[in-house]
Amino acid sequence: MTLLAATLAPRAASGLLGGRVGERVGEQAAAVDAGTEPRCYSRLVNEWFCWDYVRDYRPEILDATVQHLLITLAAVLLGLVIAFPLALLARRYPRLESTILGVSTGLYTVPSIALFPLLVPFTGLSATTVVIGLALYALTILVRALLEGLRAVPEDVREAARGLGYGAGRLLLRVELPLAVPVLVAGLRVATVSTVALTTVGSLVSYGGLGNLIRDGVQGNFRAELMTAAVLCVALAVLLDVLLVLVQRAATPWTRGRQGQGASA
């Protein structure tokens, strides 16, 4: 037991690991005591891919994945909600366009790991900080996508709609936005996939979803945890990307048949 305490002490001193590493070491000692095979995620074996880890830690992994998903969705939605009026403003007043695009591109230049701390004085160590930060990044992509999408609407379509008595609002909602969907979705895909990846950085303020597991994995040299979280991140990104493609196909039945527009940015 003294040996165990000695191996635990320096890790406990780093102060960031919580109880889990201790738990893992204890478990391993128990396994050794009982003379059974140690788990593949135990400190002795420490395999990269370990199904036992996924099974034994399922609640924790599930929580992290759900948090990751919620943060990503909230950030992209918030980005979209802000991007919409900005894009309309930029289209209406061309003079504002370069300002809006310039400011959002400037924000994009700031590394995420620097942006989160800058938001902390206002929103504290909370999920809000991460969501706002990520929304600002998504915003840059979405404003451009919306602008380009609306511009791609042919002028004669607009004329025809006006001729049919469409007012500005109805024209936007019923004609322009639906036609802008392919370009908008292309932007949404880019924004969503990069937001999934960026959410991990939120572990700086302890709201990083799977990023929290990655951080703990690095600090505790817990390979199964690290690899599982990384794989889940990529899987989540791919899943959301596929979902968006399906949404687009459902929303734009008229584009089927003339495939290969190559709308992706």
Confirm if 214 and 176 have CB atoms less than 8 A apart.
Answer: no
Location of structure tokens 């908008």: 184
What is the total count of residues that contact other proteins (CB under 8 A)?
Answer: 56
Determine if 205 is a binding residue for other proteins (CB under 8 A): yes
121 binds other proteins (CB under 8 A): yes
Our finding on whether 44 is near other proteins (CB under 8 A) is: no
| Alpha carbon distance, N-terminus to C-terminus of the chain | 58
Q: Does 261 bind other proteins (CB under 8 A)?
A: no
CA-angle at 126, arms to 122 and 132, nearest 5°:
65
60 vs 166, which CB is nearer to other proteins? 60
Closest CB 253 distance from other proteins, rounded Å: 24
**Residue 223 binds other proteins, judged by CB under 8 A:** yes
- Part of the chain binding other proteins (CB under 8 A), chosen from 51-59, 78-86, 200-208, 243-251: 200-208
**Please, which residues have CB within 8 angstroms of residue 230's CB and are 6 or more apart in sequence?**
210, 214
Least distance to other proteins from the beta carbon of 263, Å?
A: 10
Closest distance of CB 216 from other proteins, Å: 10
**Member of 139, 193, 224, 244 binding other proteins (CB under 8 A):** 193
Calpha distance 151→87 (Å, rounded):
11
Structural contact between residues 139 and 106, judged by C-beta atoms closer than 8 angstroms: no
Residues 6+ apart with CB under 8 A from 153: 175, 176, 179, 180
Q: Smallest distance, Å, CB 39 to other proteins?
A: 18
Nearer to other proteins, 161 or 224 (CB): 224
According to the binding rule CB under 8 A, does residue 39 interact with other proteins? no
Q: What region, left, alpha or beta, does residue 47 occupy, with left being phi > 0 and alpha being psi -120 to 50 degrees?
A: beta
> Could you say whether residue 200 binds other proteins (CB under 8 A)?
yes
Q: How far apart are the C-alpha atoms of 232 and 134, rounded to whole Å?
A: 19
- What the block records as the tokens of 20 is 């889990």
**Residues contributing to the site for other proteins (CB under 8 A):** 15-16, 97-98, 101-102, 105-106, 108-118, 120-121, 137, 140-141, 144, 148, 151, 190, 193-194, 196-198, 200-201, 203-205, 211, 214-215, 217-218, 221, 223, 226-227, 229-230, 233-234, 237-238, 241, 264-265
